[in-house]
Structure 1
Amino acid sequence: MFNNPDLTVLISMNMLLVLWLVVGVIAWSSFDKALYKSLITTPARQTGVFSCAIVFCVLWQIKAGILPGLELHILGVTAITLVLGWRFAILSALCASALLVAFGQLSLVQLPLHLLLTAFIPILFTYAVFIICYNLLPRHFFIYIFICSFLCAALVSCVKIATVSAFYYFSGNYNWYELSENYLYLCAIIWFPEAMLNGMAISILITYRPHWVKTFYDKDYLDS
């Protein structure tokens, strides 16, 4: 067990390289020339992406934790992924993380780990749940709200805690007892507020501004 309060020094150069490689591959995979061209020519999309980046910044800074590196906060990833789609959600997360680095709230050493565990994995998990629901379940308004949004957000909060715990356990920063007693049990606390925030946001948007939500298709969810 390492007791240094600054866990960033415990990330070895090899581990950093692996993290940057994984983050780079995911970010590159999200790039679509036609989609980004439309972003440049459509001010409304630019506003959406950067507004969501600001939301990410605010949510990710309201956090609490018992041990260094084991912070608890609302992610907001599910709602933003459903609104923007996974490619622009990743872009928005990149912009938000760049702002956090620029304002000294996140170090460059922490950046790849933060991007992977707080943003990229939750975003991809959310979109995978949406695709599974869209293809295997009835395309119904309430399924979109309660499964794609509410339930998915609850699962995403638990996935984030589980992946962070796995990283710190296998990197040797914390043992299983410390993680289970100080972090893993927080899944029981955070899942409901995460689910409520994302579920309410999506419910409001698809009621009053359904055209803002990229993954909500009127002909599928309202005509069924």
Structure 2
Amino acid sequence: MGLTDNLFPGWLLLVCGLLFAGVLVTAVRQTSWAGLRSSPRLQHCLFGAAVALGSLWQLRAGLSPGLSIHIFGMTAVTLMLGWPLAVFSGLLALVIVVVTGHEPLSLFAVNGLITVMVPALVTHGIMRWERHRNFRNFFAYIFFCGFFGAGAAVASAGVTMVLLLWLTGVYDWYHLVHDYLRYLPLFVLPEGFVNGTVVTGLMVFQPELLTTLDERRYRQ
């Protein structure tokens, strides 16, 4: 998200660190490690997605510190791997971004929470909602989980960052609305398009790579 050192007070870093640790522990507990070890394809997807995200996150447009713009791509990864493995893949990608100097190591937990965990959990929630509604048309998975899910994920991450910047007094509300929030819909559209296109391509050509896709439900 284009954060810089000393942008947030210590108490906020502590709170974000605790939330980060809580989500990470939950992801560890919900991961089938035996399944991951026995599936080379899943391992390739996890590490391949990390490299792809790490490369994608190098491309960004800077506004103000904490308000940079880039494609997240977490929705497609979450639908491929499930949210726990998507979190690990995203954090590996964030390590790449830190190593290349685009994000500070001191804000790894904040970046991990906003850039990786919030989008993954929002996508997972929308996927669970789509599954609960029991839609029988596979376009529902593509539209709600892929296109809409990606837009909601990046919007949630953006709003979360704005609230943190506002509540800690880094920027006033007028600055945040004028320089970021009013442009947020413009970020949502390309995020939805990119992730939705990737999910559509995988569903058509390699549906077995989408671990969250229940093909049997759409064949009935």
TM-score range, shorter chain: over 0.9
8 Å Cα contact 2:59-2:70 kept in structure 1? yes
**How does the TM-score come out when normalised to structure 2?**
0.94
Query: Per-residue deviation at 1:162?
Result: 0.8
Q: Cα gap change, 1:95/1:144 in structure 2, threshold over 3 Å: closer, same or farther?
A: same
CA positional deviation for 1:170? 0.3
Aligned to 1:143: 140
Structure 2 matches for 1:71-220, cutoff 5 A?
71-220=68-217
Among residues 57, 63, 66, which one is paired with 1:60 in the alignment? 57
Secondary structure of the corresponding residue to residue 72 of structure 1 = coil
- Structure 1 runs of 4+ aligned residues shifted over 6 Å read none
Give matches, 1:8-19, under 5 Å. 8-19=5-16
Q: Secondary structure at the match of 2:171?
A: coil
1:36 Cα offset (Å): 1.6
Give the Å deviation of 1:42: 2.3
How far apart are residue 8 of structure 1 and its match?
2.3
The aligned length equals 219
* 1:201-222 deviation digits (Å, cap 9, x = unpaired): 011101010001001111112x
Moved more, 150-159 or 83-92: 150-159
Following the alignment from structure 2 to structure 1, what is the Cα–Cα distance between the partners of residues 112 and 31? 24
What TM-score does the superposition give when structure 1 sets the normalisation length? Answer: 0.92
Q: Secondary structure at the match of 2:170?
A: coil
Contact 2:80 2:211 in 1 (8 A): yes
Query: 1:13/1:44 Cα in 2 relative to 1: closer, same or farther (>3 Å)?
Result: same
Amino acid aligned to 1:125: V
8 Å CA contact 1:97–1:115 kept in 2: the answer is: yes
Specify the code of the residue in structure 1 equivalent to 2:85: F
In 2, distance between residues paired with 1:83 and 1:159?
A: 20
1:136 Cα deviation (Å)?
Answer: 1.7
Q: Which runs of 5+ in 1 are unaligned?
A: none
> What is the rounded CA distance, in whole Å, between the counterparts of 1:29 and 1:14 in structure 2?
23
Q: What are the superposed Cα offsets for residues 95-122 of structure 1, whole Å, 9 maximum, x if unpaired?
A: 1112222333221222111111111011
RMSD: 1.7
**% identical equivalent positions:** 30
| Structure 2 CA distance for aligned equivalents of residues 181 and 33 of structure 1 | 40
Residue 25 (str. 1) matches residue 22 (str. 2): yes
The answer on whether the counterparts of 1:7 and 1:173 sit within 8 Å (CA) in structure 2 is no
Quote the offset at 1:62 in angstroms: 1.0
Higher alpha-carbon deviation: 103-112 or 195-204:
103-112
